[in-house]
Amino acid sequence: MDSIKIFAPATVANVGCGFDVLGFCLDTVGDIMRVSKSTRKGIRITAIDGFDLPLDPKVNIAGVSALALYRSLDLDFGFDIEIQKRIKPGSGIGSSAASAAGSVFAINQLLDKPFSATELVKFALKGESMASQSEHADNLAPALFGGFTLVKSINPLEILKLPYPEELFAVIVHPQIEIKTADARSILPKTVSLEDAVVQWSNLGSLIHGLHTSDYGLIGRSLQDVIVEPRRSQLIPNYNVLKTTALSQGALGTSISGSGPSIFSLCQGEATAKAVASAQHEIMVRSDVPFQTYISKINNEGFKILS
Amino acid sequence: MDSIKIFAPATVANVGCGFDVLGFCLDTVGDIMRVSKSTRKGIRITAIDGFDLPLDPKVNIAGVSALALYRSLDLDFGFDIEIQKRIKPGSGIGSSAASAAGSVFAINQLLDKPFSATELVKFALKGESMASQSEHADNLAPALFGGFTLVKSINPLEILKLPYPEELFAVIVHPQIEIKTADARSILPKTVSLEDAVVQWSNLGSLIHGLHTSDYGLIGRSLQDVIVEPRRSQLIPNYNVLKTTALSQGALGTSISGSGPSIFSLCQGEATAKAVASAQHEIMVRSDVPFQTYISKINNEGFKILS
């Protein structure tokens, strides 16, 4: 195989109570990337469609990851990368992670998979950390492992793949304002009360138990964030009304996707997901803010090989 | 049934990374209680054997819980409670919880179980909170539910029973110095860094995943506490050597039981548990501190009816 075309999925990180550690993978939202072997050594970004991003691999997220992988080997050939960028950078659904993980996923395929998913996350962290000025794998992990993932630790890197119930659907509403990950991080508190921390970890523990036991009600009751959401939601216009609308339409829970501005809801069943998306759509059309909504199953596979 | 004799189990709360929310139930360590119906209305503590504790039910932990349950009903008879106290108060293995939950468990049995385990925890919280000046259910929950439990929330009270792998054994070493729960609480920080909180909740999430998947290695790697143990361990003589010894003997993880001074280790298999207990015994005999060690399976039942 000399060339591969892949679907690079969008992902939802934090997931309410799991700031910096939890994430899940979307199915119908993502970039398309083509990576081809070249007789020329090195990594080249040959084309980017969709958004104005740098072609120089040393300052391009996909390029930085690819270079990290490439330099760990001693190859007498190189790779050309084409990106059809469909996930808007700064949307909060893992745009940088899709690029950072996509290039290394594709190269690993072309090399006949010398690296494990965890090793690919390590390379992808180089690109992701350039984007966010912080090493976090909560988008990379679900993109590369699929499904729901928990980043147990970064040093050493350990990622756990969690089960989840069949009928779980996600709704994403993306108000197209820009919040930079670095800015969304600077609004976070450096310290939290022990009391709030206990609430947060009991919710995260409960969510993981709910995912294991397919307890939709418990999943909903656990999707509560007393630490990050109260602060970051201030950066998102209409946040509270979008959330209460989703819940009133039957969403199990609603919170900020990654560092925002996208908002995710988890729902039991596609019908509820459609009702939530439709009600949120109504609110957004009445606002001045351009937006997109997505409905997606959880994507248990992660990256997909298209050809 | 007019009289019941029960085994009231000792319990391990916090369990390393699950401060205030996680706990498990011991099998071979506990009090014996006898509760009998009486034609006299009210609650009476008729005898306490083992430790010098008040007989007045209004200031006795078992009495306070029993009164909370009793006052919620309109009965024309009462109950007499006898306690063979074997768990030393202040030992850190749920002495107050065994008493607080024991009286209400026994009365509920004599009344033909009008209350759920969760309702019993509510009554027992009245006794427990008198003992510790704080409403926490992390010992009450495993005593009344058995096995491993996660207190999702206190208001409303929601307790989750977690699975765990068959071969899990606990070792307890109890250096018989007194640490009051209230004192152990005052050494805690009011705030923690967001960074430490993230480490703690990724460990708690990982532990719950490890319990669900019977992954002993992951259970061990998750039994890490970056918030409470560094502070409370200072109150426990020989803590570090007892911990490193347990780990060198093959314990999956070792941390403080409840607010201490007891130290628990979780082990895969009884042989490892015995090796850990024996090595810790060696260290304790060389110290001046009187102590006890226990080896116990996880007790999935909680309270046991003896006759």
CATH number, residue B118? 3.30.230.10
Contact (CB, 8 A) for B16 and B207: yes
Residue A194: which of B162, B188, B201 has the nearest Cβ? B188
* H/E element, A143: helix A140-145
Contact (CB, 8 A) for A132 and A167: no
pTM above 0.90, yes or no: yes
d(CA B144, CA B99): 11
Check B192 against A189: CB less than 8 A apart.
no
pLDDT bracket for residue A56 (50, 70, 90) = very high
Same domain for B150 and B271: no
CA of A282 to nearest chain B CA: how many angstroms apart? 34
Q: What is the pLDDT along chain B (307 residues), one digit of tens a residue?
A: 899 999 999 999 999 999 999 999 999 899 999 999 999 999 999 999 999 999 999 999 999 999 999 999 999 999 999 999 999 998 999 999 999 999 999 999 999 999 999 999 999 999 999 887 777 899 999 999 999 999 999 999 999 999 999 999 999 999 999 887 677 788 999 999 999 999 999 999 999 999 999 999 999 999 999 999 999 999 999 999 999 999 999 999 999 999 999 999 999 999 999 999 999 999 999 998 999 999 999 999 999 999 9
Q: Which residues of B touch A205 (CB under 8 A)?
A: 18, 21-22, 150, 152, 201, 204-205, 208
From A47-56, A182-191, A248-257, B281-290, the region with the lowest mean pLDDT: A182-191
**Is there a domain that residue A203 lies in?**
yes
Q: By CB neighbour count within 10 A (0-12 exposed, 13-18 middle, 19+ buried), where does B13 fall?
A: buried
Same domain for B157 and B84: yes
Same domain for B135 and B180: no
pLDDT digits (tens, 9 = 90+) for A153-179: 999 999 999 999 999 999 999 999 988
d(CA A103, CA A63): 7
**Is there a domain that residue A200 lies in?**
yes
3-state class (DSSP) for residue A70: helix
Residue B202: which of A151, A193, A221 has the nearest Cβ? A151
**Is there a domain that residue A47 lies in?**
yes
CA of A224 to nearest chain B CA: how many angstroms apart? 12
Same domain for A148 and A254: no
d(CA B213, CA B228): 26
Nearest to A276, CA basis, from A290, A286, A266: A266
**pLDDT for A288:** 87
Told to judge if B181 belongs to the known catalytic residues of this protein, a careful annotator would answer yes
| CA A175, A179, A180, A186 torsion-angle sign | negative
Q: Which residue is catalytic, options B11, B82, B149, B181?
A: B181
Same domain for B183 and B158: no
Same domain for A250 and A158: no
Chain B residue at shortest CA distance from A203 = B152
pLDDT digits (tens, 9 = 90+) for A78-115: 999 999 999 999 899 999 999 999 999 999 999 999 99
3-state class (DSSP) for residue A27: strand
**pLDDT for B181:** 66
Same domain for A197 and A133: no
Question: Is this complex's ipTM strictly greater than 0.90?
Answer: yes
CA angle B245, B250, B252 (to 5 degrees): 100
**Is there a domain that residue B249 lies in?**
yes
Distances (CA, A) of B177 to A303, B97, B290: 56, 19, 8
3-state class (DSSP) for residue B292: strand
Q: Is the pLDDT of residue A181 over 70?
A: no
For an interface test with B, give the residue of A192, A202, A212, A227 to mutate (most B CBs within 10 A): A202
**Is there a domain that residue B43 lies in?**
yes
Compute φ and ψ for B135, nearest 5 degrees. Answer: -85, 95
| Final residue of a structural domain among B145, B163, B181 | B163
**pLDDT for A178:** 80
**Is there a domain that residue A303 lies in?**
no
| Final residue of a structural domain among B163, B179, B210 | B163
Sequence-distant (6+) residues with CB within 8 A of A213 are none
Q: What CATH code is carried by the domain that includes residue B272?
A: 3.30.70.890
3-state class (DSSP) for residue A259: coil
**pLDDT for A146:** 98
**pLDDT for B134:** 75
Same domain for B205 and B157: no
User: What would the mean pLDDT of A63-68 be, rounded to a whole number?
Assistant: 98
Residue A194: which of B192, B198, B201 has the nearest Cβ? B192
**pLDDT for B133:** 73
Nearest to B134, CA basis, from A195, A35, A134: A195
Q: Number of structural domains, chain A?
A: 2
**pLDDT for A182:** 73
Distances (CA, A) of A235 to A12, A175, B165: 18, 11, 44
**Is there a domain that residue B307 lies in?**
no
Residues of B with CB under 8 A from a CB of A: 17-22, 150-153, 158, 160, 162, 188-194, 197-206, 208-209, 212, 218, 221-222, 227
Assigned token pair, B276? 């850990």
pLDDT bracket for residue A36 (50, 70, 90) = very high
Residue B260 lies in domain: 168-297
User: What would the mean pLDDT of A222-250 be, rounded to a whole number?
Assistant: 97
d(CA B148, CA B166): 12
Looking at every residue in chain B, the average pLDDT score rounds to 96
| Final residue of a structural domain among B111, B136, B163 | B163
Same domain for A183 and A282: yes
CA of A127 to nearest chain B CA: how many angstroms apart? 22
Same domain for B144 and B18: yes
Residues of A with CB under 8 A from a CB of B: 17-22, 150-153, 158, 160, 162, 188-194, 197-206, 208-209, 212, 218, 221-222, 227
Nearest to B36, CA basis, from B6, B73, B67: B6
Q: Which residue has the higher pLDDT, B179 or A150?
A: A150
**Is there a domain that residue B302 lies in?**
no
From A132-136, A215-219, A257-261, B156-160, the region with the lowest mean pLDDT: A132-136
d(CA B183, CA B232): 10
**pLDDT for A256:** 97
Same domain for A110 and A200: no
Compute φ and ψ for B238, nearest 5 degrees. Answer: 65, 15
**pLDDT for B70:** 98
CA of A190 to nearest chain B CA: how many angstroms apart? 6
Chain A residue at shortest CA distance from B209 = A208
Same domain for A99 and A202: no
Residue type, A80: D
Sequence-distant (6+) residues with CB within 8 A of A135 are A125, A128, A129, A154
